[in-house]
Amino acid sequence: MKDRDYDYYIFVDASGDDGFKFDKCSSKCYVASSVIISKDDIEHNKTILKSIKMLMGAKEKDEVKYSKIRRHKKSPEIHKLIEDVKASAYSSVVFKEYTKIPIYLDTDSKALSSFSHVLAISTMQYHFADISNVSVLVVIDRMKTTEESVVTELLAAHGSNDIPMVLPNHKIIYRDSKAEGYELIQLSDIVAGLTRSYFENHNEDAICKYFWRMCPICKPEAKLCRKRKKPNSKTHNFYYLLPLYRNNPSGNSLRALTFEPVSILKNVRYLSCQK
């Protein structure tokens, strides 16, 4: 791993596209994900990534994409390895179908990906709130030059009146996910892709659809969850990600997921109860 002078590394990638032409196969969701890894866990996670590639029959230098994992004949075994990753995951999930226009933007802008990346990356202010004197290297998968500049400018403006963030000492770099020393970007691709596949199919997936509709009527003091079965922890491959989404100061997966529109949050409260 290059750039070893940092305490933590944040690997960032996204899944989906920034289009809104759903009749022409635009993705229903856009997900940007940050995977935060301590320098002490870099080698462990590289071993996990290597094991994933071995199961796929890929070479160690090959790039892993979630789109290939999802369709692979050894997909079940590969997904099981995800919960062994030592990291914290944060994602920004945009339900484009429920958004009237590209959020925060004028209709001519193509900066949806930039803003989504910033939302996912800025969660480090929450993750490191109680950790002092920490240094962080943010490694973002290559984007369009214009998109990269927006991300860098917005994060550089942290602490201003417009963007009241207090971020730890950090440096931002952009690297190809196949670049030697930065292969762990591929883990963030897996997190983003698996997250998108789950939420994007909430209207079709039987498990997700059932709890999506049931959860809003449930209250913390209600006995509904004790009377009805929660989704089994391995019913859907997405649940292998929950340990990563729970690995934050609150231990609550919903603190690691940002939704647009925010009203979606009421439909996914069951994820905070999922064991």
Question: What confidence score (pLDDT) does residue 103 get?
Answer: 47
Q: According to the model, what pLDDT value does residue 221 have?
A: 52
What average pLDDT does this structure show over 156-183? 79
pLDDT of residue 48: 96
- The residue ranking higher by pLDDT, 135 or 211, is 135
pLDDT at 218: 57
pLDDT at residue 211, as a whole number: 73
Q: What is the pLDDT of residue 201?
A: 83
Do the strands 8-15 and 29-38 form a parallel or antiparallel pair, or are they unpaired?
antiparallel
Of residues 262 and 185, the one with the higher pLDDT is 185
15: tokens are: 């899944």
- Of 61, 39, 5, the closest CA to residue 186 belongs to 61
Mean pLDDT of the chain: 83
Q: Which residues contact 131 (CB under 8 A, 6 or more apart)?
A: 168
Contact 34, 121 (CB under 8 A): yes
Query: What integer pLDDT is reported at residue 106 of this predicted model?
Result: 47
168-194 average pLDDT score: 93
Confidence at residue 271, expressed as pLDDT on a 0 to 100 scale: 81
What pLDDT shows up at residue 50? 96
Residue-level pLDDT at 108: 42
Confidence of residue 107 (pLDDT cuts 50, 70, 90): very low
Q: Is the pLDDT of residue 127 over 80?
A: yes
Asked if 10 and 175 count as a contact pair (C-beta separation under 8 A), the reply is no
SS3 260: strand
Looking at per-residue confidence, does 10 or 223 come out higher? 10
11-55 confidence digits (pLDDT tens): 999 998 877 777 777 888 999 999 999 999 999 999 999 999 999
Lowest-confidence pick of 131-145, 158-172, 181-195: 158-172
Please provide the DSSP assignment of 11-59 as one string. Answer: EEEEES-S---GGGT--SEEEEEEEEEEGGGHHHHHHHHHHHHHHHT--
pLDDT per residue as tens digits for the range 216-263: 555 555 555 554 555 555 568 898 999 999 999 999 898 999 998 888
Cα angle at 242 between 29 and 20, to 5 degrees? Answer: 5
Average pLDDT of the residues in 187-209: 87
For 102, the 3-state DSSP assignment is: coil
The share of the chain scoring above pLDDT 90, in percent, equals 41
| Domain range 8-194+239-265, its CATH number among 3.90.226.10, 3.30.420.10, 3.20.20.140, 3.10.20.30 | 3.30.420.10
